[in-house]
Chain A
Amino acid sequence: MRDSETGTSLNHVNLPNRRARTLKFAALATAGLFVAGCATNAPQDTTDPAGTNAQQIYDLSWPIFAIAGLVGVIVFGVLAFVIVRDRDRGQPIPEQTHGKPKLEIALTILPALILIGVAIPTVGVIMDLDDTSDTECVVNVTGQQWWWEFDYPVQDGCGGITEPIVTSGQMVIPADTNVLIRGTSRDVIHSFWIPRLNGKRDMVPGRVHNLRMQANEPGIYAGQCAEFCGLSHANMRMEVVALDDGDFETWKANQLEDYESPTSEAALRGETSFVTNCSRCHQIDGITDADGVPIVSRPDQQVYSGAAPNLTNLMTRNTFAGASWDLINQDYRDEVWEASPEEFGDLYLAGVTDDVFNEVDLREWLRNSPTKKPMYTDPLELEATDGLVRGMPYLALSEDQIDDLLAYLLERK
């Protein structure tokens, strides 16, 4: 076997050559690792803060990283120096010293001072991030396997909310406003994390956790559940959508609009199909039976967490099923994500229209949801939960039924 670069036989490679090769490898690997950190499309970037809370964390982490890095370089430098200087060349063992009180005291005080220096700003930031006294808008956030629900309680905040609003996957907030998330979970521990807006916060069943959220400018900010929560943990994403005040008012008004009965034949059939197949889990506000009595979903009798997404305004969001798939096509998605803060609101509020509708993924979802997103819905494996599903089960719909349902759902905005 020949070494291609040096042309010498590997068996006789001389030492300096081999060392050079190892070094080259190490350099390449490091560079590779470094380059892997670069990405053009990295929406979950803590080093690109988009709100005051994330900015505070970022401003704190740089100096601390610098201090820690400096300490690391010094320690490893000294270590390397000693290793090289005193490497074994057959010389006698160097002088062993013990008990140099001045040095020892100095080496105790110095790290203590460094730690204190780091702790003071850190504690300050922690307390700032915990402060809720400047809240201007409250949103209840509830995690469950494997999607997030956002409900807006009646309040004076958020520009005034007179009737509760419920949505999922995308949390819409007014930009440049201090929003307070009141988070909890319906089943296991989840963690809410929008890296560009704030740190993560665990959401524990039976407890309410506060988390500040603020985005400087209108835009869309990605995140995902940051606490392993079962099979589809990786598909439990969420997005925060910030709108300027006017657009947020429009969004609110739209969420509270009365139910609009379907217009087309297909959508009418879709409504009937929805009532038969879906309304036992999914709520659509305002839908009534033939006698005008509201149809009330009972997800508590079907789903382990006791909840399923409210579909009243499905097509005002851009994503579905834990923000894991798009309701809009790729081109429009790119447009929304790359929009300037001024253009963003209009693009987002346009919602899912006929020409930008990404039918493929939603069709696949209705055809067989558990193959699209891993969930515990196999009737044979539901003993532990008394027959309750975790996720949306396979519903054995025909393609015609799916066509009708899609027509109906497309009008839900």
Chain B
Amino acid sequence: MFTTGSKFLIGASVMALIATLVYGIGQGGVLGTVGLTSATVALIGLATLNALLRDSNVFSDDEAPVETSSAAQFSPPSSVWPLGFAFGSVVIAVGLISYQPIVVIGLVALVVTGGEWAVQAWAERASGNVEHNAAVRSRLSNPLEYPVGGAVAIGIIVFSFSRVMLWLSKTNTTIAFSVLAAVVLAIGFAIAYRPKMGAGAVGGVMAVGAVAVVAAGAITGLDGERDIPEFETTSIWQEEAILHPTEYAEGAEEGKHPAGLICESPEEFPEADERASETVASKSGSYQVFLTEDETLAFDVPGPIEEGPAGMVIPRSNPTNVIFRNESDEHRRLSIDFGTETLEVEGEDTEVRHQICTTLIEPGGAQLLTVEADLPTFSADGIVNPNGPGGEEGDGFWLFVPGVDTATLELIVP
């Protein structure tokens, strides 16, 4: 007969042995293997000793009191927690010598199984009645077990969903999950209209669904995410063109993207322009610039005053949100040219144009552009802006639409 104590030690020995083999073969490490082997040998020794001494319990081989002694009246049901606890300990040991993050799993296992074990041991002292003891245990543990268990389950499902979503393409994700949502809704209706449907059937459907989701998540997760290219913005393109002109020109020649500055180009640039219109809510507090149907720029600023035709005034050194609305029939972007600035380009101080712009916006679309002008307009007095309407009047800062010569609007910064 194996005594209680020796069972624990035998279990630990077996786990240690497995750990030794796994680690020894997997890692080929010397020091760790030596440690684990020593632990295994020590545990086997302890287990043997314990089995021989029968937990130092003189009564354990005395048959007589087994039926009559009060201790014999109630034997608690077998429990998985000690096993889990031992498992946790071994995982921690393995983690410590092989791969650190595993330690966390071991710790979690240790805390959870240790806690459960403690609660169960406590509940089993409540009475001699197994059912009553189970109820005592539940009363203490369930309020914690259900929410935590539920959260973990939801976490697993959400994580599985996310893996599937990242595996499918953007469009397919939308389709797949619309369909899934419809199915869930249909099942919900079915259950609601057939209240007599057996609990087993409902549970079965749920279980199948859960397994399917988790399985799909596991498979797609292992296969990895779809290609998610680095999100390129108009400002990154602008920066590339200015700071790395040689590389940029090569890229253009190879046809990877149009040539020239993006803010001066009516053409579509990869990635930045693919995401076109990020539709924005019209807020009363925002400045708005319209590309009208007859291809001119009009603007509307907060407050009801029709400001003079001179141009749109924004405060200096203050990020101002400007909504661009494309009311023309073409894909267009709104650009702003703040004159020149001096930057170090490939080791040399170079005069470059300071420009910002939206992405190409589809007809009817809109996008928010945050504009901050740190210099006043008069800093560019008398310097003709190539993106303005031309002529002497064309100095200062200008809003313009690449590809539409008629669309210019002066930006005035006091």
A interface list, Cβ under 8 A from B: 132-133, 135, 137-138, 140, 142, 149, 151, 153-157, 160-162, 164-166, 180, 182, 184, 186, 205-210, 283, 285, 294, 296, 298-300, 305-307
Contacts and interface: CB of A to CB of B under 8 A. Distances in A.
Contacts of A207: 283, 285
Given A155-B308, A283-B376, 9 more contacts: A153-B414, A162-B310, A182-B303, A208-B285, A285-B378, A294-B379, A296-B375, A300-B317, A306-B317
B58 interface: no
B307 A156 contact: yes
Contacts of A138: 303, 305, 307
B286 interface: yes
Interface in B296-353: 301-308, 310-311, 313, 315-319, 321
A140 B307 CA distance: 13
B255 to A, nearest CB: 39
B162 to A, nearest CB: 31
A300 B315 contact: no
B303 A307 contact: no
Interface of B: 283-287, 301-308, 310-311, 313, 315-319, 321, 374-376, 378-379, 381, 412, 414
Contact of B315 (A133, A142, A165, A298): A142
Contact of B321 (A132, A180, A206): A206
A294 to B, nearest CB: 6
Contact of A166 (B307, B374, B414): B414
B412 A164 contact: yes
B317 A299 contact: yes
Nearest to A152: B414
Nearest to B318: A186
Given A156-B308, A186-B318, A210 B376 contact: no
A206 B319 contact: yes
B321 A186 contact: no
A154 B374 contact: no
Contacts of B302: 182, 208, 210
Nearest to B317: A306
A305 B283 CA distance: 24
Contacts of B303: 132, 135, 138, 180, 182, 210
B291 to A, nearest CB: 22
Instruction: Give the 3 A-B CB pairs with smallest separation, nearest first.
Output: A164-B414, A306-B317, A153-B313
A205 B283 CA distance: 15
A283 B308 CA distance: 25
B375 A154 contact: no
A137 B303 CA distance: 10
A307 B317 contact: yes
Contacts of A184: 315, 318
Contact of A298 (B304, B313, B374): B374
A294 B378 contact: yes
Contacts of A162: 308, 310
Contacts of A155: 305-308
A296 B376 contact: yes
Given A140-B315, A182-B302, A306-B318, A300 B374 contact: yes
Given A154-B313, A164-B313, A142 B305 contact: no
A315 B147 CA distance: 69
A391 to B, nearest CB: 16
B311 A208 contact: no
A60 to B, nearest CB: 24
- Of B302, B306, B307, B412, most buried by chain A (CB within 10 Å of CB) is B302
A383 B372 CA distance: 24
Contacts of B414: 151, 153, 164-166
A210 B328 CA distance: 31
A285 B316 CA distance: 14
A133 B304 contact: yes
A166 B318 CA distance: 14
B307 A132 contact: no
16 contacts: A132-B304, A133-B304, A135-B303, A135-B304, A153-B301, A154-B311, A161-B308, A164-B313, A166-B316, A182-B302, A206-B319, A208-B286, A209-B285, A210-B303, A296-B375, A296-B376
A366 B230 CA distance: 51
A209 B303 CA distance: 9
Contacts of B310: 154, 162
A151 B315 contact: yes
Contacts of B318: 142, 184, 186, 306-307
A288 to B, nearest CB: 11
A161 B305 CA distance: 12
Given A165-B414, A296-B376, A300-B374, A156 B315 contact: no
